[in-house]
Chains A and B, each alone.
Chain A
Amino acid sequence: MQTDRVDVGYIAAQRQAKRLAGGANLRKFRERVIEFGMFLCAVFSVAITAGIVWVLVYESWHFFENVSIVEFLTETQWTVLFENPRYGIMPLVTGTLVTSIIALLVALPLGTIIAIYLSEYANNTVREILKPILELLSAVPTVVFGFFALLFVTPLLQRLMPDLPGFNMLSAGIVIGIMIVPYVSSLSEDAMKAVPVNIREGSYAMGATRLQTALRVLMPAAFSGIASAYVLGFSRAVGETMVVAVAAGTQPNLTLNPTEGAATITAYIVQVSLGDLPHGSIAYQSIFAAGLTLMLMTLVFNIGGYLLRKRFREIY
């Protein structure tokens, strides 16, 4: 009887162990499945980039089967929707550059001053209040900014410059500039904050004021981060669509004069998309060629920014 009981206990224990091992296997399997699922989520983000590149290149490829690249780059007119279409991207590129440069002329000084102010001058309470309010600027829908540019800023500018047409690049550029201030200021401030305290203290110990410390010590030290902020600001300005589509007009115009109206690359894409273009027509393909140009422009600036950062990077 005694041995029997031991046997029963032994068998039960063995069964229990087996069940546990089976459970552990199942659990391991479940862990693997979950991990793989989340891995797929992460890979999905790479698929988005691949999708963007593929669609842009594929449709542009068809576009360039019909239009020579030389014409695309050297022709001075962009009249895709006309009877005698001309395919010169230049007017759209100048429109994009003029509005973006105006935007940067507004956003970089303002953003940098705000960054220095918030990181070096403002006390904690002031910063905690001002920063979220400022960041709301980047939360405003861009179409609302377009409304503001067309119906508030342009009339305001027209009081100073009576000849200013209703659609102009100046007011669109200024509004985009204000819109991207929070991007520039937040990232620059983070970069300055990240400079080690002892470097700052070294400067103060030498008798420098806060302004001297900020301009001569912190900005060079945080150059890499500030440069990324500027590059991001530029990308935002170049890619901004609704403000220019509403306030700068949709007429391609090869000019560097900001008081004129001109279509940007993005405004052109909007204009074409609003109409009902047949899938596969040259005009349909042209918006992808325009989009590819836009991507290449931002890419060039990003690479430039990267090289600049690498050249001047400070490592502590």
Chain B
Amino acid sequence: MATPSAGELEKRVEGNKTRDKLFAIVGLIATFIGMLTLAALLFDLASSGLARIKPHFFTSFPSRFPAQAGILSAWVGTTLVMIVTAVSAIPIGVGAGVYLEEYAPKNWFTALIEINIANLAGVPSIVYGLMALGLFVYQFNFGQSILSAGLTLALLILPIVIVATREAIRAIPASMREAAYALGATKWQTTSDHVLPYSMGGILTGVIIGLSRAIGETAPLITIGALTFIAFLPDAPFKAEFPFISFDWLWSPYSVMPIQMFNWVSRPQAEFHLNAAATGLVLMAMTLAMNAVAIYFRYRFRKRIKW
């Protein structure tokens, strides 16, 4: 290769510098495309859905008449399903995370569990739905119920909770544990009195992110038979007579908000699309709020704790 002259070199360097500056702009544009989409999406939802958001939208059942239809059964269903999901996913997820970080021996079985959790995070959500259809609905005979739905979503967010728990625990310096051991604390005392409280922020963030994902999940619930049109509410969990609390609602058929939205958006009449937009707006408000809380937690705990 011939040595380039000084002028050529200078030109080449200039060219490189220009490309470098150009890329800074390209990168900014690429980032803005993502954000622009988010903005367009929100604007689109708001422009068609905002008019529908009135008190009666939250207190009415779905109806054949778009203007009278509401999401009462859907939001009640979502709330109940989320309760089941949280109650089952949080203890199992945190337990598994604590075990893997604090207790697990380094052997092939632990490695298997770790690889398995990483792979579960990549399994399409509809496959969880198929599994739940075969297992929960028919094998265990839970039927097409709130219980099935809550458990399905719990499986779905389990990897998120486990990974978040592990990361939160890993951030705690060994000196914290050693101080507890030095005072004669057992492993569980150390874990429950020191490790868990310190990692609570990270765990909470993971749980909220997981639940916000579960709220928007649609596909797995369709496969396990959530209803798209439901004009009654599940049994109330609290009763006036003894024993005051009832779990009959667990077995009730249900609908959830994303499914209500899917039902409305797949109808040909444009009037129903407005209802879908309004439901989408409510869903977005909920997920964005949950994510904002999660970001706030992450930020606050990162700032406050200095080892």
Q: What residues make up the interface of A, taking CB atoms closer than 8 Å to B?
A: 27, 30-31, 34-35, 37-46, 48-49, 51-52, 55-56, 58-59, 110, 113-114, 116-118, 121-122, 130, 132-134, 136-137, 139-148, 150-152, 178, 181-182, 207-212, 232, 235-236, 238-242, 245-246, 266, 269-270, 273-274, 279, 287-288, 291, 294-295, 298, 302
Given the interface contacts A38-B98, A136-B38, A136-B288, does A43 sit within 8 Å of B213 by beta carbon?
Answer: no
Q: Given A38, A147, A240, A295, which contacts B99 in the complex, CB threshold below 8 Å?
A: A38
How far is it, in angstroms, between the C-alpha of A121 and the C-alpha of B27 when the chains are bound? 8
Contact A141 B215 (CB under 8 A): yes
Q: List the A residue with the shortest CB-CB distance to B286.
A: A141
Q: Known contacts A117-B23, A211-B19, A295-B123; can you find 14 more A-B pairs with CB under 8 A? A: A40-B95, A41-B93, A48-B158, A117-B27, A122-B27, A134-B34, A144-B280, A178-B34, A211-B16, A232-B122, A241-B218, A273-B224, A294-B126, A298-B122
Q: Is B207 located at the chain interface by the 8 A CB criterion?
A: no
Convert B164-178 into 0s and 1s, putting 1 for each residue whose CB lies closer than 8 angstroms to a CB of A. Answer: 000000000000000
Given the interface contacts A41-B92, A49-B116, A118-B31, does A143 sit within 8 Å of B24 by beta carbon?
Answer: no
**B contact residues around A152 at 8 Å (CB):** 40-41, 44
User: How many Å from the CB of B86 to the closest CB on chain A?
Assistant: 15
21 A/B residue pairs, CB under 8 Å, sorted by A: A35-B103, A45-B96, A55-B134, A56-B131, A113-B26, A114-B34, A116-B23, A116-B27, A121-B27, A130-B31, A133-B35, A140-B38, A145-B41, A148-B44, A151-B48, A178-B37, A241-B219, A245-B266, A269-B126, A269-B219, A294-B127
Contact B155 A48 (CB under 8 A): yes
From 104 to 122 in chain B, residues with beta carbon under 8 angstroms from any chain A beta carbon are 104, 112-113, 116-117, 119-120, 122
Convert B261-286 into 0s and 1s, putting 1 for each residue whose CB lies closer than 8 angstroms to a CB of A. Answer: 11001100000010011001001100
Contact A273 B225 (CB under 8 A): yes
Contact A141 B124 (CB under 8 A): no
Convert B284-295 into 0s and 1s, putting 1 for each residue whose CB lies closer than 8 angstroms to a CB of A. Answer: 100110010001
Convert B121-138 into 0s and 1s, putting 1 for each residue whose CB lies closer than 8 angstroms to a CB of A. Answer: 011111111110111001
How far is it, in angstroms, between the C-alpha of A176 and the C-alpha of B142 when the chains are bound? 33
User: How many Å from the CB of B186 to the closest CB on chain A?
Assistant: 6
Given the interface contacts A121-B24, A139-B291, A209-B16, does A266 sit within 8 Å of B265 by beta carbon?
Answer: no
Convert B9-24 into 0s and 1s, putting 1 for each residue whose CB lies closer than 8 angstroms to a CB of A. Answer: 0000100110110011
Given the interface contacts A110-B34, A269-B126, A302-B122, does A143 sit within 8 Å of B213 by beta carbon?
Answer: no
Which 9 A-B pairs have CB atoms at the shortest separation, nearest pair first? A239-B124, A117-B27, A141-B216, A41-B95, A55-B134, A241-B219, A38-B99, A209-B20, A41-B96
Contact B126 A291 (CB under 8 A): yes
**A contact residues around B33 at 8 Å (CB):** 110, 178
Q: List the A residue with the shortest CB-CB distance to B20.
A: A209
**A contact residues around B216 at 8 Å (CB):** 139-144
**A contact residues around B215 at 8 Å (CB):** 141
User: How many Å from the CB of A294 to the closest CB on chain B?
Assistant: 6
Q: Given A43, A44, A270, A288, which contacts B219 in the complex, CB threshold below 8 Å?
A: A270
Q: List the B residue with the shortest CB-CB distance to A299.
A: B119
How far is it, in angstroms, between the C-alpha of A150 and the C-alpha of B295 when the chains are bound? 31
Contact B225 A146 (CB under 8 A): no
Contact B219 A141 (CB under 8 A): no
How far is it, in angstroms, between the C-alpha of A46 and the C-alpha of B117 when the chains are bound? 8
Q: List the B residue with the shortest CB-CB distance to A111.
A: B30
Q: List the B residue with the shortest CB-CB distance to A151.
A: B273
**B contact residues around A30 at 8 Å (CB):** 188
Q: Is B222 located at the chain interface by the 8 A CB criterion?
A: yes
Q: List the A residue with the shortest CB-CB distance to B280.
A: A144
